[in-house]
Structure 1
Amino acid sequence: MSTRSGAAAGAPPTRRATRRRGRRRESLAALGMVSPAVFLLVMFIVIPVVLAFALAFTNARLVSPTPAQFTGLQNFRTLLDDPLFYKSLRNTFYFAVVVVPLQGGLALVLALLVNAKVKGVNFFRTVYFLPVVTSMVVVSILWTLLYQKTGLVNEIISHLTFGQVQGPDWLTNPSTAMPAIIVMSVWQGVGFHMVIWLAGLQTIPQDLYEAADMDGATRWVRFRHVTWPGLSATRTFVLITITISAFALFTQVSVMTQGGPLDATSTVVYQAVRTGYSQQQTGYASAISLVFFVLVLAVSLVQRFLTREKD
Structure 2
Amino acid sequence: MSDKKLLEGKVIVVTGAGRGIGRATALLLAESGAKVVVNDIGGGADGSGNDATPAQEVVNEIKAAGGDAVANFDSVTSWEGGQKIVQSAIDTFGRIDGVINNAGNLRDVIFHKMTEEDFDAVLAVHLKGTFNVSRAAAPIFREQGSGTFVNMTSTSGLIGNFGQANYAAAKMGIVGLSKSMALDMQRFGVTSNCIAPFAWSRLIGSIPTDSEEQKARVAKIQQMTPDKIATLAVSLCSDQAKNVTGQIFGVRNNEIFLFSQPRPFRSAHTSEGWTPETVLSRVLPAFEADFYPLSRSADVFSWDPF
What's the TM-score once normalised by structure 2's chain length? 0.22
Where is the helix percentage greater, Structure 1 or Structure 2? 1
Where is the strand percentage greater, Structure 1 or Structure 2? 2
What's the TM-score once normalised by structure 1's chain length? 0.22
- Report 1 or 2 for greater relative contact order, CA contacts < 8 Å, sequence distance ≥ 6: 1
